[in-house]
Amino acid sequence: MYYSGNKLYQFFKNSQKFQFSTGTMWELVYGDNNANPLLLTLLVGDISEKYDLKQEEEAYSRLQYVSEKSKVPLIKVRFKTDTVQKNEVFFLDKNVSSKEKKISLDELKEVFTQYGLQVQSSSAKKDINFAVASSFHDWQRHNIGSNVTVSDIDLWLVDLGIPKMVFEVKRSKVSIESWTPYKDDYPNFILISKLCNKADMKFKLVYYYMKSGENRQEDISKLKIFNIVFDGKQLAVDLDKIISLEEFVMSGG
């Protein structure tokens, strides 16, 4: 999920406890048609002059920890955003090489296939909201097919450098009292929940109210929390509580 001017992210900007990737960086989970996680990917849009290398290192570290715990492979894909897009990306699998390798998008398709993903020429079950036009964006839209489930990780709870919890972050113009998760998102919830189960992490959803209109004013003073658990047979999405932002920070979710 790409946010521009997200108030919750702004609040946690300097937090070591609550961490996230923003701008042109995404922490992605790819799974099969049954939402079994098969591949973790750090996707980086490299803007040379404004690029935050520290954010990339922290994001990779989080995903690397989850990869080691869950035994789900991790790769990194970097695409250029400050030049005319070419049919190529920079690819890294640290199990194979310590250096990024320039490959074509056709070669990237082969890489995804090698990890068990049935890549094809159709639309994915969820379209990642890339705000930056890129050849990778076009590639994913046309080649990650209906047999692939893909989701991005919005927010992490981290304790002494160790990821402990993953949060899906939602916001809309629906009142905090009335809003409930959308069933269309359930395949992605199952995907993330299965990954969390493998990595011994919890998974929750955080919702807050955002006014409609051009300014889209956000109210993060109250947060609606849902517990999300897939037990191997069915998905449970249960309302936990509505709490203040301060209580959320103190309790760690």
Q: Could you report the per-residue pLDDT of 108-138, keeping only the tens digit for each? A: 889 999 999 988 754 445 544 444 445 566 6
Which stretches of the chain score pLDDT less than 70?
Answer: 1-5, 47-51, 81-86, 121-138, 213-214
Q: Are 253 and 167 in contact (CB under 8 A)?
A: yes
Tokens in use for 50? 């404004």
Q: Domain range holding 81?
A: 21-150
One domain for residues 141 and 57: yes
One domain for residues 34 and 121: yes
The whole-number pLDDT of residue 49 equals 53
Q: Is residue 2 part of a domain?
A: no
Long-range contacts of 15-19 (CB under 8 A, 24+ apart): 16/158, 17/157, 17/158, 17/159, 17/249, 17/252, 18/155, 18/156, 18/157, 18/158, 18/249, 19/58, 19/62, 19/155, 19/156, 19/158
One domain for residues 233 and 211: yes
Torsion of CA 19, 67, 189, 184, to 10 degrees: 100
Tokens in use for 220? 């993060």
**What whole-number distance in Å separates Cα of residue 216 and Cα of residue 211?**
5
Q: Are 146 and 122 in contact (CB under 8 A)?
A: yes
pLDDT per position as a tens digit, 141-178: 777 778 899 999 999 999 999 999 999 999 999 999 99
**Number of domains into which the chain is organized:** 2
One domain for residues 95 and 30: yes
| Pair type for strands 37-46 and 74-80 | parallel
Q: Is residue 14 part of a domain?
A: no
Amino acid at 116: G
One domain for residues 133 and 170: no
One domain for residues 104 and 190: no
The whole-number pLDDT of residue 132 equals 46
One domain for residues 169 and 236: yes
Q: Is residue 216 part of a domain?
A: yes
One domain for residues 115 and 164: no
Of the residues 98, 115, 150, the one at which a domain ends: 150
Of the residues 98, 123, 150, the one at which a domain ends: 150
Of the residues 150, 171, 197, the one at which a domain ends: 150
Angle ∠(229,63,103) on CA atoms, nearest 5: 125
Specify the pTM.
0.90
**What whole-number distance in Å separates Cα of residue 204 and Cα of residue 223?**
12
Q: Is residue 194 part of a domain?
A: yes
One domain for residues 104 and 219: no
